[in-house]
């Protein structure tokens, strides 16, 4: 028997609550102190990890503290600083153009709307929503790879298109929950619900998950797959 809409909403919100108990301190793992730093870090995180990005941004942010400094950066120096994040030439090009666009269009400030953010070089909906939610506190659904994967496993969406996933997932929760939902789901994807071998037997929301069994269900085997939060 197909799951009713009411049952889906109840199950989705139960998952959110249980993930909150599992990850009470879930937050954005890109180190930043302002909107520009978060925007730059998110651009760098493409095809990389937050941990790796966090190793280069302290020096990067000190060297280029504002959009004007970023726009005027020496390309070779910028490439050298961000090399560990991968695709450093393309990312350097994006950051130089991003800095220039911020200076030319917004007086060096990061705009606070989705419509404005997605017009910036190197900024798509996912990056824009990361900045909106974590720098400006504007509710949104961040469709990163973990949230997309887990939304499919949880049965929250059947779509592969980020805008539709945003709509499908967002409709299951009040907007006031969207920011915490992003963080909890992403943390769960990084720590337990992995792409290749989810730790099903060590997952506290397994009883609520239609995809239970995609990974090892034996508790001892699954426990070895859990990656605890970084220090």
Residue 166 within a domain: yes
Residues 63, 103 share a domain: yes
The first and second tokens of residue 196, run together, are 């290749």
**Is 215 within 8 Å of 199 (Cβ atoms)?**
yes
CA dist 71 and 95 (Å) reads: 8
Residue 75: how many other CB atoms lie within 10 Å: 12
Residues 22, 98 share a domain: no
Residue 154 within a domain: yes
Burial class (CB in 10 A: 0-12, 13-18, 19+), 227: exposed
Residues 10, 84 share a domain: no
The rounded percent of the chain whose pLDDT value lies above 70 is: 99
CA dist 89 and 96 (Å) reads: 11
Please name the residues in contact with 136: beta carbons below 8 A apart, sequence gap of 6 or more: 35, 112
Extended strands (E) in the chain: none
User: In which domain, by residue range, is 87 found?
Assistant: 35-135
Q: What is the mean pLDDT of the chain?
A: 96
Residue 231 within a domain: no
Number of compact structural domains in the chain: 2
Q: Which residues are catalytic?
A: 126, 144
Residue 165 has pLDDT above 80, yes or no: yes
pLDDT classification of 205: cutoffs 50, 70, 90: very high
Residue 131 has pLDDT above 60, yes or no: yes
**Per-residue pLDDT tens over the stretch 141-158:** 999 999 999 999 999 999
> Residues 112, 71, 40, 131: what is their CA dihedral angle, to the nearest 10 degrees?
0
Residue 228 within a domain: no
pTM: 0.93
CATH code: domain of residue 146: 1.10.1670.10
Residue 231 has pLDDT above 50, yes or no: no
């Amino acid at each position: 028997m197909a799951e009713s809409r009411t049952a889906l909403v109840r199950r989705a919100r139960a998952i959110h609550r249980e993930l909150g108990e599992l990850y009470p301190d879930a937050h954005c793992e890109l180190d930043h102190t302002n909107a520009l730093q978060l925007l730059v870090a998110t651009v760098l995180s493409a095809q990389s990890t937050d941990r790796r990005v966090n190793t280069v941004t302290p020096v990067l942010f000190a060297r280029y503290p504002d959009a004007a400094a970023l726009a005027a950066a020496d390309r070779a120096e910028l490439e050298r600083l961000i090399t560990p994040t991968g695709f450093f030439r393309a990312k350097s090009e994006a950051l130089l153009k991003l800095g220039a666009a911020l200076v030319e269009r917004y007086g060096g400030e990061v705009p606070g709307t989705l419509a404005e953010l997605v017009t910036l070089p190197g900024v798509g909906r996912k990056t824009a929503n990361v900045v909106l939610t974590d720098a400006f506190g504007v509710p949104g659904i961040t469709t990163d790879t973990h949230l997309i994967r887990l939304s499919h496993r949880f049965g929250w969406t059947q779509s592969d298109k980020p805008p539709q996933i945003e709509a499908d997932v967002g409709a299951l929760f009040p907007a006031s929950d969207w920011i915490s939902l992003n963080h909890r789901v992403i943390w769960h994807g990084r720590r337990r619900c992995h792409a290749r071998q989810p730790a099903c037997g060590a997952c506290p929301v397994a009883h609520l998950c239609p995809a239970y069994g995609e990974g090892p269900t034996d508790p001892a085997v699954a426990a070895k797959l859990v990656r605890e939060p970084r220090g």
